[in-house]
Amino acid sequence: MDKLLAMNQITKSFYGVSVLKGVDFDLDYGEVHVLLGENGAGKSTLMKILCGAYTLDSGSISVAGRPVEPAGYDPRKAEDAGIVTVYQNFHLVPHFSVAENLSLTRFTRQRGLIHWKTVNEHAREALEKVGFAIDPRTKVRDLPVSQKQMLEIAIALSKNAKIIIMDEPTAALSRKETENLFKTISDIKSRQVGVIYISHKLEEVKQVGDRITVLRDGLKIATLENRDADMNRIITLMIGKEVSRTQRESAVDTTGDALEARGLQNESFPSPISFSVRKGEILGVTGLVGSGKTELARALFGIDRLSAGDLLLDGQLVRINSPKKAVNLGIGYLSEDRDTDGLCLNMGVKENVSLVFLAKLRSLFFNVTAEKHTVGDLISSIGLKIAGLSQQVKYLSGGNKQKVVFGKWLTARCRLLILDEPTMGIDVGARGDIYGLIRRFVEEKDRAVVFISSDVDEILEVSDRILVMVGGEVAAVLDSRTATKQEIMRYSTHVAQGVG
């Protein structure tokens, strides 16, 4: 019997860089085939080729025994072949009703008018197929996340899908909602529909999958039967050989905390979270998508309000209810989107570096010459490569832009820096410069850094201790001298439990 899906020797390159290197992948009728791999492994590229968003360079695809012609293959033809994707970020129209979202491309018309009674009846039938009991006239904006997920699945099935790709479908779901989703997937399988399931949560992979395929660096490393897939083996296949790293000499002051968080709670942290950042320490914070890393940074800087808990800065209880209050207390924040949140792109380097420092001045008057000298000295110390102080920031490279943001907080004389993905989109050389700046920062008296990154290798290299987050909770606090990439991944994917 033919496979429901067969992808053979798929290759794809972008600008001369090989992303997929002869990958084979197949799917049986009524099967959940899990696709695993680290960021950059090739999972998304392979699925975008299947969905018609990308064109393959070489290889072949067949669905239910019928070859797919590469010429002219696009998302519409993929959908006509029965291939539908349920994305992590919902593709729904919020102000439309459930029924309207289900019928967007195929409204039932009579004499040129939409026949709403028929539209709603068809919607009820589609919702019943996934056990989703809801009034189809309900606006999508009024649905909780779990019901939006069910609606996406109902839409997929209403298109007579043969293959459903689920991309991180439980990223925003509670445990109970995840269990309900798994029941729906089981029902989908009983109809001989195939599911390609992409997730970083390894414990749910074991629960829902029939087979597991691991990609790494654009290569298919292995395909395993779920019953034979040991967790340690899966992790080893995903990350390969453990990478060695250089450990910095720690300047941590074990006698005092720069920041202590006690029982913090808000919408992102339903359970109280507590941790500390010691003076002279780089506390690494890592976790998968939806773990709460960025939300933690925003709460510490006063962007998102806390509903409960206490923050102590240098042992003193403080209330940080706005970024202005955080800055006045000596806290700096480098967001993951530096262009939008960290820089004034049309302004010069000098103005950007001075921005926070000037905002903190109590006087309307300041010494322009002194400002110029201060910024000039800073630029020299951080190795910023620019044509001049007036050069517009938008024309700088990613690495130099990040140095400008870093310099802005240095001139503001911060004691605590919160850095969210500080090396995102930066080349290897500039990364080394940023690491050096961070290390020099914490070597000065009473300073500390919260270093947030999704790159586990980076976290291991830069941090003194590592806080691993899962679902808005602290899963573990590890000593970077003894922690391994494998151990961090176990905690990140719920495989291990408890706090170290």
Q: What is the pLDDT of residue 143?
A: 81
Q: What is the mean pLDDT of residues 75-92?
A: 84
User: In the structure, what pLDDT confidence band is assigned to residue 7 with cuts at 50, 70 and 90?
Assistant: very high
How far apart (Å, rounded) are the C-alpha atoms in residues 289 and 173? 12
Percent helix, strand, coil in the chain (nearest 5)? 35, 25, 35
Residues 451 and 438 sit within 8 Å (Cβ to Cβ): yes
The tokens of 243 are what? 């990478």
The tokens of 1 are what? 């019997």
How far apart (Å, rounded) are the C-alpha atoms in residues 403 and 397? 10
Fold of domain 253-492: Rossmann fold (3.40.50)
Residues 198 and 205 sit within 8 Å (Cβ to Cβ): no
Q: What is the dihedral of CA 156, 158, 163, 168, to 10 degrees?
A: 20
Is residue 370 pLDDT above 60, yes or no?
no
Please enumerate, as own/partner, the contacts of 185-192 that have beta carbons within 8 Å and a separation of 24 or more. 185/32, 187/130, 187/131, 188/153, 188/157, 188/164, 189/30, 189/31, 189/32, 190/30, 191/30, 192/29, 192/30
Q: What is the pLDDT of residue 340?
A: 67
Model confidence pLDDT, tens digit, residues 99-121: 888 887 665 555 557 777 878 88
Higher pLDDT, 155 or 213: 213
How far apart (Å, rounded) are the C-alpha atoms in residues 301 and 285? 15
Q: What is the mean pLDDT of residues 132-151?
A: 81
Count of residues in the chain: 500
The tokens of 27 are what? 């799917």
Q: Measured in Å, how far apart are the chain's first and last C-alpha atoms?
A: 51
Which of 87-101, 197-211, 268-282, 360-374 has the largest mean confidence? 268-282
Q: 16 by DSSP, 3-state: which? A: coil
User: In the structure, what pLDDT confidence band is assigned to residue 364 with cuts at 50, 70 and 90?
Assistant: very low
User: In the structure, what pLDDT confidence band is assigned to residue 174 with cuts at 50, 70 and 90?
Assistant: low
Higher pLDDT, 159 or 85: 85
DSSP letters for 371-439 = HHHHHHHHHHHHT---S-TTSBGGGS-HHHHHHHHHHHHHHTT-SEEEEESTTTT--HHHHHHHHHHHH
Is residue 244 pLDDT above 50, yes or no?
no
Please tell me the least confidently modeled range out of 44-48, 248-252, 434-438, 465-469: 248-252
Is residue 177 pLDDT above 80, yes or no?
no
Model confidence pLDDT, tens digit, residues 437-467: 889 889 888 899 999 998 888 899 999 999 9
User: In the structure, what pLDDT confidence band is assigned to residue 195 with cuts at 50, 70 and 90?
Assistant: very high
Do 5-239 and 253-492 have matching folds? yes
Is residue 366 pLDDT above 70, yes or no?
no
Domain 5-239 annotated CATH 3.30.420.10: no
Q: What is the pLDDT of residue 249?
A: 59
Q: In the chain, where are the structural domains located? A: 5-239, 253-492
Residue 7: beta bridge partners? 25, 61
Q: What is the mean pLDDT of residues 316-327?
A: 92
User: In the structure, what pLDDT confidence band is assigned to residue 250 with cuts at 50, 70 and 90?
Assistant: low
Is residue 251 pLDDT above 70, yes or no?
no
Model confidence pLDDT, tens digit, residues 302-314: 999 999 999 999 9
The 10 Å CB-count burial string (b at 16+, else e) for 197-213 is bbbbbbebbbebbbbbb
Residues 358 and 390 sit within 8 Å (Cβ to Cβ): no
Residues 167 and 47 sit within 8 Å (Cβ to Cβ): yes
What is the chain's mean pLDDT, rounded?
Answer: 82
